[in-house]
Structure 1
Amino acid sequence: MGGQYLAPREVRTQRLLLRPFVLADHARYARFSADPEVMRYMGTGVVSTPEMAWRSMSALLGHWEMLGYGIWAIDLPGTGVIGHAGYIDVPGWPGFELGWMLGREYWGQGYAREAAATALEIAYATLKRDRVISLIRPPNAASIKLALALGAVGEGSTDLLGSPAEVYVHQP
């Protein structure tokens, strides 16, 4: 892609700014990524070192450069980065996925829903996707509740990075 973005790089919602990660986000993002409660359902469930968090941020930025869309940093104006939301669409992945993650102190305040709903709208309206999924570990009740609130329907399970994940298909 080389700078041709298919999705907007910055999106303002009622309370949030969805934007690319920047260097100044690293310390906060590394703190969230080192929290076992935040990471228990993400990826393989392993916490990240600051170096791993750096690589993760770099990979998320690279997704944008290679495909023209990806994961946004969720910025709460006046606070800074509080998590991320957006798309995972890498080779070998079970489908075009809408995912989200928030630092623990931001759970239960509607931020994930606000960011994910905006990303879902962009997936359909701008990226013209006809199938968007969310892959959620079975014990992750909060993310299942969010997927259902966004209109997703369960469609069975799949192996994701060596352990089961439920497939939720969002409805356009």
Structure 2
Amino acid sequence: MPATAQQIDLTIPVLQTERLVLRAPQSSDFDAIATFYADADRSWGFGGPQNRNEAWRWFASLLGHWALRGFGFWMVDTREGQTVGMVGLWEPEGWPEPELGWVMFANGEGKGYAFEAAMAVRDHAYRNMGFRTLSSNIFPGNQRSVALAERMGAWKEREYQNVTHGTEMVYRHPGPEAVA
């Protein structure tokens, strides 16, 4: 290895809840991501729709984000092994702070999985990663995400101009001292 090369540790912890396993993205997850992004009605609140090539680039950036920031999105599986969505921490270049984000695939909606997984990620971020604050950026009109953020105790703090997506609402989560 050249002297200037840097070793990258891509150790992604596995998180478990009563019904779910949150794990590292794997190449076998790509079709679920591409299907999600191809559906304009489902993906608009997550930067979609995107074609397969664009979806692949976003999917590959999931691992790059873990390598560069030390955190990122987990794939969400049921205990039976069915992949139902993605939940994680995200802070691309130009964003004001790390975000707690979520998306459920069609087979994972309406079952409380997003709440369960997002609570596990928030707890992990506060207890194990040293985060002191978290927000969730939500597109105006995404009432399901607003309802989830509010169910988690978050409140609308402000709007801001996201460098990628335009106007988004920032929902502030209670800090670690409030959720311990």
Q: Same fold (TM over 0.5)?
A: yes
2:166 is equivalent to residue 163 of structure 1: yes
CA RMSD of aligned residues (A): 1.6
Matches within 5 A, 1:104-115: 104-115=106-117
2:11 is equivalent to residue 32 of structure 1: no
Matches within 5 A, 1:1-172: 2-3=8-9, 5=11, 9-43=13-47, 46-160=48-162, 161-172=164-175
Deviation at 1:40, TM superposition (A): 1.4
SS in 2 for 1:21: coil
Superposition misfits of 4+ residues, deviation over 4 angstroms: none
- 1: distance between equivalents of 2:67 and 2:114? 24
Percent same amino acid at aligned positions?
32
SS in 1 for 2:75: strand
- Compared CA separation, residues 162 and 112, structure 1 to 2 (3 A): closer
Counterpart residue type for residue 61 of structure 1: L
Unaligned 5+ segments in structure 2 are 1-6, 176-180
Deviation at 1:76, TM superposition (A): 2.2
- 2: distance between equivalents of 1:40 and 1:67? 25
Larger RCO: Structure 1 or Structure 2 (Cα < 8 Å, ≥ 6 residues apart)?
1
SS in 2 for 1:3: coil
SS in 2 for 1:41: helix
Deviation at 1:104, TM superposition (A): 2.4
TM-score, L = length of structure 1: 0.90
Deviation at 1:69, TM superposition (A): 1.2
Name the count of aligned residue pairs.
Answer: 168
- 1: distance between equivalents of 2:98 and 2:80? 32
- 2: distance between equivalents of 1:29 and 1:115? 18
- 1: distance between equivalents of 2:165 and 2:153? 27
- 2: distance between equivalents of 1:152 and 1:89? 18
- 1: distance between equivalents of 2:167 and 2:118? 22
- 1: distance between equivalents of 2:44 and 2:10? 34
Deviation at 1:162, TM superposition (A): 4.5
- 2: distance between equivalents of 1:59 and 1:162? 17
TM-score, L = length of structure 2: 0.86
- Compared CA separation, residues 77 and 27, structure 1 to 2 (3 A): farther
